[in-house]
Amino acid sequence: MSDIELVSGLSTSSPSRMVLLVLDGLGGLPNPGTGLTELETARTPNLDALACESICGLIHAISPGITPGSGPAHMALFGYDPVRFEVGRGVLSALGVGIDLGPEDLAARINFCTIEGGVITDRRAGRISTDMNARLCEKLAGIRLEGVEADIRPEKEHRAALVFHGSGLSENVTSTDPQRTGLAPLPCEALPGGGEAAERTAAMVNAYLDKVAGVLVDEHPANMIVTRGFAKLPDLPRITDLYSIRAGAVATYPMYRAVAELVGMELVETGPSFSDQLEALQGAWEEYDYFFIHYKYTDSRGEDGDFDAKVACIEEVDRLLPRLIDLEPDVLVVTGDHSTPALLKGHSWHPSPLLLRSRWERRDYVDSFGESACARGGLGIFSAMDLMPLMLANAQRLNKFGA
């Protein structure tokens, strides 16, 4: 697996253009009726033609068997070891709902829960509706704390993101979720070695939770919250500095825009559709060396368990693909961040199909873009973390290692 410092040390500049098109959750599992995955089922003349001109393979975001979240999976695609550069759960939640996080802010993920007789009887408050969640978050927005501003916003069902904007806050504090019913919520406590900042933060969190209990006292079933995954923005080396590239992200969903910004990409203004994204790409073509384009709906339809709708999404991308190809990027990669088989209705551990087109690559025998075909591709099965050096190499942006 490539080492980020090694690759960075070899980076040099070149006038070439690289494009990474991520179809979120692209990989799938075969439909038991046909033996074909979503991608293999979709009519994709443009992707297939591209596969013929490309070298193909399969990538693991982390390692075989490990199912990644979208955050870690994208970190790997950008060349960052997602285990080494772990982005805290609270941060991903906050970024996912579009909260602007500063370096001093502290984020957490929260669950609404049900308390009866002092103990938690339902850790998910009966999976309340997202609408009710939004109403409760609005109610909680009225809570005032000294020197700290609490920002709470709904995710889906019983989950929400919480950010304390302030200074001197520490992420070294414990979760208040006891992880099972029949117990009271835990107090937030400083972790060993957390020091005075952690003590102060824990006290602030507990004061906030007391007020939450007061505000929610008459609600049912969501009359309390538990917090977990306290985290601050990690201090990541910037992609621009690492690889001497100007990187632009054409993404529409908050979480992916946020992860791109986290590694130092600039956000390119775009409308919500894939067609809008391609227009934005074209408009910014001269301004960047590396483009990350993120298409979300393949993952969403996979999560829904809707095989046919995921197939349709892939076909939509394929139809518009010539507009991207016409820009003639020197290096073009189409892949997924992880698999989201409709059959599993969620992320999975299966490696993602990948094609890489560049005039400096070998060819293989793959003549259609699909999981089984890519498993026999010329790039083999490799770590997503090796993709960035491979793209840089094909863009002739990496010097030789050693004499």
- Footprint of a second copy on this chain (CB under 8 A)? 1-3, 6-7, 10, 29-30, 35, 37, 58, 62-72, 82-83, 86-87, 89, 92-93, 96, 109, 343-344, 346-350, 360-365, 371-372, 375-382, 386, 388-394, 398-403
What whole-number distance in Å separates Cα of residue 376 and Cα of residue 364?
9
In the bound state with a second copy, the residue whose beta carbon lies nearer, of 204 and 387, is 387
Shortest distance (Å) from residue 400 CB to a second copy: 5
Greatest Cα pair distance, the chain, in angstroms, is 72
CB of 71 to a second copy, least distance (A): 5
Instruction: Evaluate the CA torsion angle 385, 240, 236, 248 in order and state its sign.
Output: negative
Q: How far is the CB of 44 from a second copy (least distance, A)?
A: 18
HSE, CB side, 13 Å, CA atoms: give it for residue 192: 0
Half-sphere exposure (CA, 13 Å, Cβ side) for 29?
16
Which burial class, exposed, middle or buried, applies to 2 when counting CB atoms under 10 A from its CB (0-12, 13-18, 19+)?
middle
- CB 123, min distance to a second copy, A: 15
CA atoms within 13 A on the CB side of 122: 13
**What are the tokens at 29?**
């599992």
Return the number of the residue (62 or 281) whose C-beta is nearest a second copy: 62
* Exposed / middle / buried, residue 193 (Cβ in 10 Å: 0-12, 13-18, 19+): exposed
Q: How far apart are CA 385 and CA 255, in angstroms?
A: 20
Closer residue to a second copy, CB minimum distance, 72 or 166: 72
Cα distance between residue 51 and residue 261, in whole Å: 30
Pairwise CA distance, residues 153 & 171, whole Å = 19
- Mapped onto helix, strand or coil, the DSSP state of residue 312 is helix
CB of 57 to a second copy, least distance (A): 9
Specify the residue, 44 or 70, whose C-beta has the smaller distance to a second copy. Answer: 70
**Nearer to a second copy (CB atom), residue 70 or residue 201:** 70
**CA geometry: angle at 280 spanning 278 and 285, to 5°?**
95
CB of 250 to a second copy, least distance (A): 22
Of 136 and 388, the one with the shorter C-beta distance to a second copy is: 388
10 vs 203 by CB, closer to a second copy: 10
Give the burial string for 72-110 (b: 16+ CB within 10 Å, else e): bbbbbbbbbbbeebebbbbbbbbbbbebebeeebbbbbb
- Smaller CB separation from a second copy, 34 or 167: 34
Cβ 344 to a second copy, closest distance in Å? Answer: 7
CB of residue 291 vs a second copy: minimum separation in angstroms?
18
